[in-house]
């Protein structure tokens, strides 16, 4: 760790490393507090995974909720998060809800400051907020959830009054930061920090050897480690080897934190969502969006035997965990590849070309979709595809010889359930998020909008799906001010982290769409506020 003085001529009050949601929240807050801010981004483009996102931001008890009279009490919100984070420890009447006090304090800090972090971005002109009041939390039905609707915010633009894309959101954040005097440099990877004799972080060292002084501190906001194979091997025991995160998510801050003796936290967890594996393998550099909903009613997800394994409409983080089920009897991951099977009408009715929906639009080439005129032919083509594709596509999974007949029987049984609107096996279509993501029912389906009998006439289609991350969420642990902690629990002075590079105690939980960006802006904001006050 370099301990020699940095070049004071190359300096800022606050150095922010990374230009996603967490970085911009820190930079904008700090600039509005009067600090001179320098942002460093290792990629040529700004925005990281934030620029790929659906731009949902989950913020408990925000201003628009309060103005609309939606009550989001603190106790219930903390219970909801605690219940999902640590169901094994959760005690609703305990003073810290059964959580270790420091974890409870982190959830409380999030609840207490998320709305303020959002207001900072709104007041700065970076976000024009709209409340998605029809978007339910992912466990809206839990008794702990006192405000199941209203916490999701998106930003709108003049030409796009519904909501911006991730790239547009990043453009707005960057324009706001620049207007406030923030300097932004791209193509500048930070490789290390500089500490003085008492261990306080005083600056950074870039890959090019520049030593930049940071008078008030350094905020790391460098994303997760989806694209660091060695870190995935070291820390993530389940075989999730792919992800939709931007290429900059290489775990740089995990490595820097390890050298600093930081306490690493939540390293084995990730924000999960399945992905269509073939496009990702065909071009790993292109952006293949993770799946946010298996849309469609005449659609099922089956395993290599041709049987359904889950409620296909689960929220994506939970759905991805089904792929990672370990079978102790056979000592393997039998669901590592699952097959989304649907009929032609489903593709026509539910494809929308939007990010997160893998159904092919009519007339648009979709080489990842396998098609057969009959179920038997579909089974043959799918088996062929798995055998002839590069090994990464199949992930070691081969179809059972009886896949075709079993799939036909599964589709028949599914049709019987769809006819009465009740999924006896998995309860599909029962929770608010399932119905919200499914979209409106097809005309004539007045039973269960998420289910419909398959057409007796082909063609039928299948897509090979794999488990994937949106990004990981473990890293050096932080406290309620975003300060990075050493292995002994003490604070590393001058060093802050926020977003996916920081270890926040959310465990495997995904409370709602927007939870990751909500956390990122909140702890970016808190870090900047603390640095400004120091
Ligand atoms: C398809 C998709 C849709 C999503 N939709 C949503 C959504 O709607 N709502 C939601 O909450 N979450 C969503 N997510 C997840 C969300 O996008 C991320 O969790 C979030 O944007 C991460 O923000 P961040 O600031 O932590 O990191 P990032 O946005 O990843 O930014 C990190 C930046 O740091 C840079 N960097 C890394 N190392 C260095 C270094 N050493 N030096 C300098 N720069 C460095 C990277 O290049 C990158 O630009 C989605 C993810 C995907 C893949």
User: 211 near 15, Cβ under 8 Å?
Assistant: no
Q: Candidates 248, 254, 276, 286: which one to mutate for ligand 1, based on the most atoms within 8 Å of Cβ?
A: 248
- Rounded distance from Cα 343 to ligand 1 centre (Å): 35
Query: pLDDT digits over 72-129, tens only?
Result: 999 999 999 999 999 999 999 999 999 999 999 999 999 999 999 999 999 999 999 9
What's the CA gap between 252 and 43, in Å, rounded?
Answer: 13
Which token pair is 286? 């292109």
User: What pLDDT sits at residue 345?
Assistant: 95
- Region of poorest pLDDT, from 88-97, 173-182, 294-303, 431-440: 431-440
Residue whose Cα lies nearest atom 48 of ligand 1: it is 48
User: What pLDDT sits at residue 283?
Assistant: 83
Handedness of CA 150, 152, 154, 160 (dihedral sign): negative
Name the DSSP class of 253: H
In sequence order, the β-bridge partners of residue 204 are 193, 212
Query: pLDDT digits over 468-514, tens only?
Result: 999 999 999 999 999 999 999 999 999 999 999 999 999 999 999 99
Residue whose Cα lies nearest atom 49 of ligand 1: it is 48
Query: pLDDT digits over 308-328, tens only?
Result: 999 999 999 999 999 999 999
Q: Where are the beta strands (DSSP E) in 286-337?
A: 299-302
Q: Candidates 166, 222, 315: which one to mutate for ligand 1, based on the most atoms within 8 Å of Cβ?
A: 222
Domains and CATH numbers, the chain: 7-166+201-270+470-525 (3.50.50.60), 275-467 (3.90.700.10)
Query: pLDDT digits over 184-194, tens only?
Result: 999 999 999 99
Handedness of CA 526, 529, 531, 534 (dihedral sign): negative
What's the CA gap between 17 and 185, in Å, rounded?
Answer: 10
Q: Which of 2-16, 96-110, 148-162 has the highest mean predicted lDDT (pLDDT)? A: 96-110
- The torsion angles phi and psi of 80, rounded to 5 degrees, stand at -60, -50
Query: pLDDT digits over 279-305, tens only?
Result: 989 887 777 889 999 999 999 999 999
User: What pLDDT sits at residue 5?
Assistant: 54
| pLDDT for residue 6 is more than 60 | no
| pLDDT for residue 60 is more than 60 | yes
3-state secondary structure 377-406: HHHHHHHHHHHHCCHHHHCCCCCCCCHHHH
| pLDDT for residue 431 is more than 50 | yes
CA dihedral in degrees (173, 219, 46, 229; nearest 10)? -140
What's the CA gap between 220 and 216, in Å, rounded?
Answer: 13
**Nearest Cα residue to 281 out of 53, 465, 44:** 465
Q: Mean per-residue pLDDT for 333-353?
A: 95
Q: Which atom of ligand 1 is nearest to the CA of 473?
A: 19
- Rounded distance from Cα 221 to ligand 1 centre (Å): 9
Does the beta carbon of 190 lie inside 6 Å of ligand 1?
A: yes
Count the Cβ atoms, other than its own, within 10 Å of residue 427. Answer: 12
Does the beta carbon of 290 lie inside 6 Å of ligand 1?
A: yes
What's the CA gap between 19 and 53, in Å, rounded?
Answer: 14
Name the DSSP class of 374: S
User: What pLDDT sits at residue 4?
Assistant: 46
142: enclosing H helix or E strand: none
Q: What percentage of residues in the chain have a pLDDT greater than 70?
A: 98
The end-to-end CA distance of the chain, in Å, is 23
């Amino acid at each position: 760790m370099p301990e020699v003085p940095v070049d004071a001529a190359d300096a800022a009050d606050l150095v922010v490393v990374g230009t996603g949601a967490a970085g911009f929240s820190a930079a904008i807050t700090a600039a509005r507090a009067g600090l001179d801010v320098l942002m460093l981004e290792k990629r040529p483009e700004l925005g990281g995974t934030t620029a790929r996102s659906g731009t949902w931001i989950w913020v408990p008890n925000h201003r628009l909720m309060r103005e609309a009279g939606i009550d989001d009490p603190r106790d219930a919100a903390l219970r909801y998060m605690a219940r999902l984070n640590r169901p094994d420890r959760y005690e609703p009447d305990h003073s810290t809800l059964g959580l270790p006090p420091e974890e409870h304090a982190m959830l409380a800090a999030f609840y207490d400051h998320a709305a303020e972090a959002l207001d900072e971005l709104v007041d700065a002109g970076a976000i024009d907020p709209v409340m998605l009041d029809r978007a339910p939390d992912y466990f809206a039905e839990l008794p702990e959830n006192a405000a199941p609707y209203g916490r999701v915010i998106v930003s709108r633009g003049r030409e796009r009054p519904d909501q911006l894309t991730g790239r547009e959101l990043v453009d707005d954040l960057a324009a706001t930061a620049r207007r406030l005097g923030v300097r932004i440099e791209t193509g500048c990877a930070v490789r290390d920090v500089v500490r003085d004799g008492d261990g306080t972080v005083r600056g950074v060292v870039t890959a090019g050897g520049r030593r930049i002084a940071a008078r008030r501190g350094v905020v790391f906001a460098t994303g997760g480690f989806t694209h660091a194979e060695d870190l995935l091997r070291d820390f993530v025991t389940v075989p999730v080897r792919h992800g939709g995160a931007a290429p900059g998510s290489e775990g740089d801050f995990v490595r820097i934190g390890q050298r600093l003796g930081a306490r690493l936290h939540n390293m084995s967890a990730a924000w999960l969502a399945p992905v269509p594996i073939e496009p990702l393998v065909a071009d790993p550099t292109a952006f293949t969006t993770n799946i946010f909903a298996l849309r469609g009613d005449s659609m099922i997800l089956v395993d290599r035997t041709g049987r359904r394994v889950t409620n296909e409409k689960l929220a994506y983080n939970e759905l991805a965990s089904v792929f990672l089920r370990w079978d102790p009897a056979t000592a393997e991951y039998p669901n590592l590849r699952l097959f989304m099977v649907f009929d032609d009408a489903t593709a026509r009715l539910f494809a929308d070309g939007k990010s997160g929906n893998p159904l092919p639009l009519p007339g648009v080439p979709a080489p990842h979709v396998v098609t057969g005129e009959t179920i038997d032919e579909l089974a043959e083509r799918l088996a062929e595809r798995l055998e002839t594709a590069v090994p990464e596509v199949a992930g070691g999974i081969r179809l059972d010889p009886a896949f075709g007949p079993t799939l036909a029987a599964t589709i028949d049984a599914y049709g019987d359930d769809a006819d009465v609107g009740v999924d006896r096996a998995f309860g599909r279509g029962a929770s608010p998020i399932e119905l919200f993501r499914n979209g409106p029912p097809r005309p004539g389906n007045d039973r269960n909008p998420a289910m419909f009998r398959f057409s007796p006439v082909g063609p039928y289609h299948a897509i090979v799906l794999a488990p994937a991350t949106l990004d990981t969420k473990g890293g050096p642990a932080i406290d309620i001010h975003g300060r990075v902690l050493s292995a002994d629990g003490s604070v590393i002075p001058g060093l802050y982290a926020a977003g996916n590079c920081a270890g926040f105690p959310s465990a495997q939980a995904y409370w709602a769409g927007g939870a990751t960006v909500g956390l990122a802006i909140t702890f970016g904001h808190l870090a900047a506020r603390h640095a400004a006050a120091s």
